[in-house]
Amino acid sequence: AQSVAQPEDQVNVAEGNPLTVKCTYSVSGNPYLFWYVQYPNRGLQFLLKYITGDNLVKGSYGFEAEFNKSQTSFHLKKPSALVSDSALYFCAVRPYSSASKIIFGSGTRLSIRP
């Protein structure tokens, strides 16, 4: 079965410090992996994707994610956190069995303190 796991319900970081939001995956075949962000009272927004190629992928708002095949991880990172980065972050995977849908993780709430 295809799935993603986000082991942390909440991550707290001071503004200006680097941040990491963790995600591990379980897929058959080559993984298609994604990150989405949800700001309060809004729908989700696409941040970035990994399909093939470089293990470090860059996305919107200065975020990047590192694909690690041996550790089956796809952690979201940012070198210097902003208070405005505070939001709910979802990791997602596209099932091998279906190209028309994706499966979301349970979400990690990122809180950046001034």
Partner 1 sequence: NAGVTQTPKFRVLKTGQSMTLLCAQDMNHEYMYWYRQDPGMGLRLIHYSVGEGTTAKGEVPDGYNVSRLKKQNFLLGLESAAPSQTSVYFCASSYKRSSYEQYFGPGTRLTVT
Q: Which is nearer to partner 1, 15 or 96 (CB)?
A: 96
Q: Which stretch binds partner 1 (CB under 8 A): 22-30, 34-42, 56-64, 70-78?
A: 34-42
Q: Does 58 bind partner 1 (CB under 8 A)?
A: no
| CB neighbourhood size of 87 (10 A) | 21
Closest by Cα among 93, 77, 94, 82 to 14: 82
The whole-angstrom separation of Cα 85 and Cα 26 is 27
Give the distance from CA 63 to its chain's centroid. Answer: 9
Interface pick for partner 1 out of 29, 70, 100, 114 (rule CB under 8 A): 100
The site for partner 1 (CB under 8 A) is made up of: 9, 32, 34, 41-46, 49, 90, 92, 94, 99-107
